[in-house]
Amino acid sequence: MKNRVSYIIMLLVIIMSVFSVSIISTHVMAGTEKHEEEGHKEGGKEDAHEHEEKEEVVRFSDAELKEFGITIDRAGSGKLHVYVEATGEIKPDPDLVSHLVPRVSGIVSEVRKKVGDWVKEGEIMAIIESRELADAKSAYLTARERFKLAEFEFKRKERLWKEKIVAEKDYLKAKKMFAEAQIELMAREQKLHALGLTDADVKGLKSHKDVPLTRYELISPIDGVVLERHITKGEFVSTDMTVFKIADLSRVWILLAIYEKDIPYVREGQKAIVEVGYGTKPVRCTLSYVAPVIDEKTRTVAARCVASNKKGLLRPGTFIRAKIDVESIDVGIVVPKTAVHTFRGKTVVFVRTSEGFVPREVVTGRSDAERVEIVKGLEPGEEYASKGGFTIKAEFKKAEFGEGHSH
Q: State percent of the chain over pLDDT 90.
A: 61
Least confident stretch, 40-44, 154-158, 187-191: 40-44
Look at residue 230 and give its three-state secondary structure.
Answer: coil
Region 382-388: mean pLDDT is: 94
Dist. CA 221–CA 284, nearest whole Å: 30
> pLDDT for 47-85, tens place per residue?
433 433 456 888 998 898 999 999 999 999 999 988 899
Dist. CA 389–CA 358, nearest whole Å: 11
Q: What is the pLDDT of residue 110?
A: 96
Dist. CA 395–CA 20, nearest whole Å: 65
| DSSP 8-state symbol, 340 | E
The dihedral built from the CA positions of residue 188, 194, 196 and 198, taken in this order, carries a sign that is positive
What are the DSSP E strand ranges found in 23-130? 71-74, 76-92, 97-100, 106-111, 118-119, 124-129
> pLDDT for 24-44, tens place per residue?
343 333 444 444 444 444 444
> In this predicted model, which residue has the larger pLDDT, 28 or 285?
285
> pLDDT for 197-210, tens place per residue?
888 888 888 766 66
Dist. CA 321–CA 277, nearest whole Å: 9
Which band of pLDDT confidence, cut at 50, 70 and 90, is reported for residue 22?
Answer: very low
Listed residue (324, 349, 322) closest to 336, CA to CA: 349
Dist. CA 392–CA 405, nearest whole Å: 9
Which band of pLDDT confidence, cut at 50, 70 and 90, is reported for residue 401?
Answer: low
> pLDDT for 331-353, tens place per residue?
999 999 999 999 999 999 999 99
Q: What is the pLDDT of residue 208?
A: 64
Region 258-281: mean pLDDT is: 91
Look at residue 170 and give its three-state secondary structure.
Answer: helix
Q: What is the pLDDT of residue 125?
A: 97
pLDDT at 245 over 80: yes
Which band of pLDDT confidence, cut at 50, 70 and 90, is reported for residue 369?
Answer: confident
Listed residue (229, 394, 253, 258) closest to 324, CA to CA: 258
pLDDT at 151 over 50: yes
**Domain at 62-77+330-399, CATH from 3.40.50.300, 2.40.420.20, 1.10.540.10, 1.20.1740.10:** 2.40.420.20
Mean pLDDT of the chain: 85
pLDDT at 189 over 80: yes
Region 385-393: mean pLDDT is: 92
Dist. CA 264–CA 147, nearest whole Å: 69
Q: What is the pLDDT of residue 404?
A: 52
Region 81-105: mean pLDDT is: 94
Region 299-306: mean pLDDT is: 96
Dist. CA 254–CA 87, nearest whole Å: 10
Q: What are the distances in angstroms from CA 273 to CA 84, 86, 161, 323, 338? A: 10, 10, 81, 5, 18
Q: Give the contacts of 76 (CB within 8 A, at least 6 positions apart).
A: 333, 334, 380, 381
> Domain spans of the chain?
1-53, 62-77+330-399, 131-213
Strands 106-111 and 124-129, by their bridges, are: antiparallel
pLDDT at 1 over 50: no
Region 16-20: mean pLDDT is: 48
Dist. CA 391–CA 363, nearest whole Å: 22
Q: What is the pLDDT of residue 20?
A: 45
**Identity of residue 247:** A
Listed residue (193, 238, 216, 242) closest to 128, CA to CA: 216
